[in-house]
Structure 1
Amino acid sequence: MSLNLAGITVFVTAVDAGSFAQAATRLHLSRSAVGKTIARLEAQLKVTLFHRTTRSLNLTEAGSLYYEHCLRALAELNTAQALIEQEQAEVHGQLRVSMPVLFGRLCVAPLLLDLAQAHPKLTLTLSFNDRLVDLNEDGFDLVIRHRGLEHSRHLVARPIASYAMVLCAAPAYLAKHGHPADLAQLAQHEALMYRRGHQDSPWFNGLGPPLTPRFYFDDIQAIADAACAGLGIAYLPDWLVSQALNSGQLCRLTLPVPKARPDAFQVHALWQANPNLPLKIRVAVDHLVAQLPPRLQQT
């Protein structure tokens, strides 16, 4: 037997109202619609729920028993709905986020931890990895990425911040080797190159001169440390070297560079397309949009 929830609602309202007419008013139905709904419910249950007279509406023994159980069932349903509505209005659950190692540790993770402090029912799983992860296969709700968007056609990508790349070197290195005046001279200097696997990360979006680096790294913090130690010229994100530039450990080099290079690199948050986006993802992305740009200016 299928559950006749509409009939149960009309039945309970009729009992509470004391008449079909009053129940019809409360439910914005006609009196005949209420009567037909009760009749269908009785036919489905194969019992008579009411003793009907022209002046009164009284429950039968079966009707009283059914009414008591219906009240408890409707109370449970109302409680369940209230809980769901409360959860939808409150950030909760586990948020699984993947992010680049250094950028995530210095810039993104502190902001997400602040968010978790503000929402005690939110739990975080933060993964730091420079490879391009798959949201489905790796089980992430959100991915922070500043490259590889061409592999993300089936995802929603929202820009959350941007940063510039800085050409820089230590004063000691420049005192010994001189300042390059143009790209041709830059090619003669010691370049500190980022390499992952067998692939180098090109400077100036690949539009600069060919370089012959002496040192290769797969960690940009190590490149920054080598630059501060005077081992060569580095091409690094401004959020990583801003403090070293401000303190004088590094000097910014300004050269005429290809105009086609991007002025800034976009950082994106990516997630699976979902018409009913979970509140935890929406709140996390909004928080990063608001807080990440100023944090990049402070690092």
Structure 2
Amino acid sequence: MKATFALAAVFHIVLLVAALPTPVPQTNGGPPFDPAGVKNVGNGHGGQFIGGQCLSNADCGSGCCAGPSGICSGPGAQTQAGKTGCGFVAGGAPVASAPPAAAPVNNGATAAPANGGPPFDPAGVKNVGNGHGGQFIGGQCLSNADCGSGCCAGPSGICSGPGAQTQNGKTGCGFVAGGAPVASAPPAAAAPVNNGASATPANGGPPFDPAGAKNVGNGAGGQFIGGQCLSGADCASGCCAGPSGICSGVGAQTQAGKTGCGFVAPGKRAIADLLV
């Protein structure tokens, strides 16, 4: 009885193994297949992971079945490690249609810049031209109003960090496409306010970040690094660096023209004085 049961179990396992797809040996080169992906070969369901064997693009989650032997690959690595590019098709395998190139849509979005500069990130198409400030850096924009950074850089309209607005062929913030709403530019420098905040240091050192004007002189420790301070009590880092009073990381207190922590504006008491 036990022998009969054992033979039946072995026969059942043989049937299961026989039902699995048989991987095609790599007769043409390229990196070795990951054997864990055998179950995903040739079903065309896009379930195969990178490194697993494929019979066409339709097998791969990445959409790229690379030659010369058929291995799922990231599109950016399709010609590395002996691979010959996406589009491999084994004899008789279903061919997955390649995704169409991003075409212009009603909001004016496109995949490639018309006038130069870096390429747009196609994932941002939905944020183009709505003026809601939802576009991320690298996405297309029709004006500053589209960008979370507030900077739509020319020559073709791409959201950029203000500090990188002239890099990689960009021509600076302020790009406006025909008919796009123009976002009002932020003021070039914050005007002095009653709390003594200023955009420009009086005695040297790096310029203050004008976004921190609201945190100057309240002693609440809410000022970020780069914002103006009247004493160390203003800074979240606890370091108000001279010569003009700017919140600094302790390790950077003498960099970029700063003269070290401990700056106290006239009329303010130092933190040490407040603790005695």
Shorter-chain TM-score: which interval? under 0.3
- Structure with greater helix percent: 1
Q: Relative contact order: is structure 1 or structure 2 higher (C-alpha 8 Å, sep ≥ 6)?
A: 1
Larger radius of gyration: 1
- TM-score for both structures, normalised by structure 1: 0.26
Normalised to the residue count of structure 2, the TM-score between the two structures is 0.27
